[in-house]
Structure 1
Amino acid sequence: MVIDPSSGNDEGFALVAVLVFMLIVAAVVAPFALNARTRLMIASNEIEHDRLSMVADGLVNVVASELFDGSGAERLPLNAEPARCHAGHFSFDLRVQDHGGLIDLNAASDPLLTRGVASFGFDPKRAEEIARAIIAFRSPPHAFTAGVQQQSSLGPRQNKFAVFESVSELQEFSALASIPLRDLYGVFTVDLKQGSIALAKAPKRLRNVIDGSHDDEAGAQDKSGGTVYTIEITARRDGAGIAGQAGLIVEKSSLTAAGFRRVSRMPAVETGDSGLTSLAPTAGCDALFGSAVAQILGRWS
């Protein structure tokens, strides 16, 4: 039998050709496979985020019900102090602010507004000027000065001559425009319609600038149940960077079966906000949400 010496070369060339072809196919397919995997991970993370957000939103309703039926007001911190609990593979961060401890933009006097503005680090003179601009913004015009408007350089371009409808209107003031909206919501309210504040319910930022013993507008001993609350909850899977958040202002209402109504949503909490996480003491979820809800959370995965 005669062996053709060129046949080995043909087979080797064919093998090389197949390998080159496979490399080309892999080079073309690999980016598509990687892109598909990335999209799958993104979709999975979005689903997890949405699921955690829905749980957080539901827990806001649970806490609101507890506050307005009286069972939660006795055991939950009402001055924005953070609390945290673990259940199953998840952690839940909670912060509740009774609006009785905030300054109402439509009812507070010049001195109280000045203290609220000063809590953002303004010196007393500038804080007083901004407070006067706030009062001018909300106050109706005087009959003898109609058409004449003395504008403060610290306020908006034009006064509203009507009540504040939202705390977010403060960002129209040039002096306050750079302050994060969440921080403004942590000091002021438009939902209480009350000229004084309860110092025991005031957040730390306000307690640092208000001395209840020298301020008739600060009721240091008022610990009664409130009618308006800000409730913020963040839900996280342990060991994961994905979080779901819900923050709402809720108001007591006899017109709904739940006993309260949602007034508005809060600006979103940034992931890793230390105000809701690293400083939050750990407690049992039954202490925050009740034993029945804690059991459900413990079984949830």
Structure 2
Amino acid sequence: MTTLGEALRAGTERLLAAGSETARLDAELLLAHALETDRTAVLAHPEAPLGPAQVAAYESELARRSAGEPVAYIRGLKEFYGLAFGVDARALIPRPDTELLVDLGISRAVAALTGMWRRASGPLRVVDVGTGAGAVAVAFTVTLRRRGYGRVLDVLATDASAEALALATENAVVHGAADLVRFRQADLLPADEPPFELVLANLPYVPSEEVDRLPVAASFEPRAALDGGPDGLGAIGRLLALLPSRLAEDGSAFVEIGAHQVASVERLADEMLPGWGASVHLDLGGEPRVMEARRAG
């Protein structure tokens, strides 16, 4: 009978042969998923036997991963900002680098909510543009609720995809944020909403000709969530063009960008947002990741 340790070794070798750069981790996560347990339990008992049904489930998952399918889709789960989000082919898998967008949004929101001017104002109006699986909106809102700011937030999450919004709504329900985040199908910023004081956006920014050169795992994700047009800046440019009419006085917008797009995005900002303040924030790897645009009051 196959043991956990033997299954892990065999699975790792199989995924290495298939080209996975994280073969051991993938094997651990998939075996834990097949056994409906966690990695700690798998690693703690290498001598434990696997039943026929468990072996079959694991083999099926290894086959899917060997074909390039992302582990997150196979598990139906991706950790982001300390929370577990349901994921599937309806939306892009949340990336660790995008956690910077949440960090920056939370920092700016707390500064606004604790400022003297805010005490007599209504809720802070926030929008997550291109919400996908809802990771940014939900993580942002849940974190601020834990800090006692839940009742002074008005958070909207938009996406052009009805399927993605359905997934995002499911995640909001799981994390108890369904009453704090409004989800709406829209192209970027709805014109009938009052101006926003904080805009968070993770839009498609991969140039069209580069999408097909991404790792095979990306081919399982919605192309529309990756393809940013010929220069990768189609959606970002349209968003920047809307900010003068959709961002409130003293508001801020944080937009995720590609590491090699800084100069191009700065040129767009200079053209579309003259007189505004702009800066670029680096991710943990030291790469440019988020552009901030600030409207002077």
TM over 0.5: no
- Which structure dedicates a bigger proportion of its chain to helix? 2
Q: Pick 1 or 2: higher relative contact order, CA cutoff 8 A, min separation 6.
A: 1
TM-score by length of 2: 0.28
TM-score w.r.t. length of structure 1: 0.28
Asked which structure has the greater CA Rg, the reply is 1
